[in-house]
Copies of this chain bind each other. A is one copy, B any other.
Amino acid sequence: MHHDTTTPLRTRAAVYGASGITGCELVRRLDADPRCEVVAATSRQHAGAPLRSIDPAAPELLLVHPDEVPIAEIDVAFVCLPHGQAAPLVEVLVEQSRCRVIDLSADLRLRDSALHARVYGSTRGARVAEAAVYGITELYRGALCDARVVSNPGCYPTCAGLALWPLAEHGLLRERVTINALSGISGAGRATTPSTHFCAVADDVRPYKLGRSHRHSAEIEQILADAAPAGEQAPPVVFCPHVVPLERGMLATITVRVGELTAGEVHELFERRYADETFVELLPLGEPARIRAVVRTNRAQIGVHDVEGSDDVVLTCAIDNLVKGASGQALQTMNLMLGRAEHSGFAPTEHARLPRSSAPAAARRSACR
């Protein structure tokens, strides 16, 4: 297998934007993985400072200026910069190095460049936008495994996407989908604004950007369109995000009209779809997903719920926004790209189960070809 020859024993990684919450989580996890080595963790603002001065639970490591990264020597670059700043760096990395790039920003998520410009108010190079492969690991595995540049999905789209894909791929979403979602404040990053102050988050719940005004609405609709059977239209979403007084964790509660299917039949669809997934835990019918069960893990927990006397079904999906919703998924995709078992480097309690088949990683790799 090609990765045996091209992948060195220890993957040499650079993390751009390591002082942010996502970047820091990534460094912590890469540093703890004996198969990886953090060659450089960058910060323009804090270059020279120990990462631990920013996060007391970070590993001991000095931040460096991005220009100091030895890009010729790295295998994988993780880009955790704010949107608008990531795409230009990705372009440079693609042109000047041979490393694989996983972009955790929003710069390359929306394939439609006009839509991207409208939603994010920024443009990006056409070449890099075309090169990037978007996707949730479980749902876009075939395309991701050979990608040079990966666009790691947003947290809400990961959460809603995992919950909706099994229905969407069978063309079962014919009406608008109502997604209520709750997120810990770490989703807003380390920015110190009045709305991230302890006193503004504690003892409150704050709905924001309701309806279709949150940027992730478009990304969720892109996922639903990707999943839809050829020739079928994906439904619009009503997306209502809220900040809850948690540091981390995310829960989506979704109402869909599934028509003829019972909740039990919906549950079976999910069972089949995710049977071999290490990081997806489908709960028994009627048992709701909970943030506490997934926080600090790369797991997604999914619940399917009957609505008595109706043709609606409620879905719940919980992830840790910083792990499966960001850094963990980036590492899972890195593992996929490098031909490793996807759960490699994750603690046993972080994944739902080991894959059923005896040679799952190999099987998946071959499925990529």
Q: A residues within 8 Å of B by Cβ? A: 21, 28, 31-32, 54, 56-57, 59-60, 176, 178, 180, 182, 185-186, 190, 192-194, 196-208, 210-213, 236, 238, 240, 242, 244-247, 249, 251, 253, 255, 288-293, 295-297, 303, 305-310, 312, 314, 316, 318, 347-349, 353
A349 and B307 alpha carbons, distance in the complex (Å):
40
CB neighbours of A247 from chain B (8 A): 198-199, 202-203
B349 touches A32 (CB 8 A): yes
Determine if A197 and B206 form an interchain contact, defined as CB atoms under 8 angstroms apart: no
How far apart are A350's CB and chain B's nearest CB, in angstroms? Answer: 9
- Give 25 A-B contacts (CB < 8 Å), ordered by A residue: A28-B349, A54-B194, A56-B290, A56-B293, A57-B292, A57-B293, A176-B312, A178-B178, A192-B192, A200-B292, A202-B247, A204-B246, A204-B291, A206-B288, A206-B291, A207-B288, A207-B316, A210-B316, A211-B306, A211-B314, A213-B308, A238-B255, A238-B307, A238-B312, A347-B347
Q: Which B residues are CB-close (under 8 A) to A178?
A: 178, 255
- If A204-B290, A249-B204 touch, whether A211 touches B348 (CB-CB below 8 Å) is no
Q: Which of chain B's residues has its CB closest to A54's CB?
A: B194
Q: How many copies does the complex hold?
A: 4
A207 partner residues in chain B, CB cutoff 8 A: 251, 253, 288-290, 303, 316
Contacts A180-B180, A196-B192, A314-B240 given: A353-B60 contact, CB under 8 Å?
yes
Q: A306-B211, A310-B212 are in contact. Are A31 and B205 (CB under 8 A)?
A: no
Tell me, in angstroms, the Cα distance from A196 to B305 when the chains sit together.
23
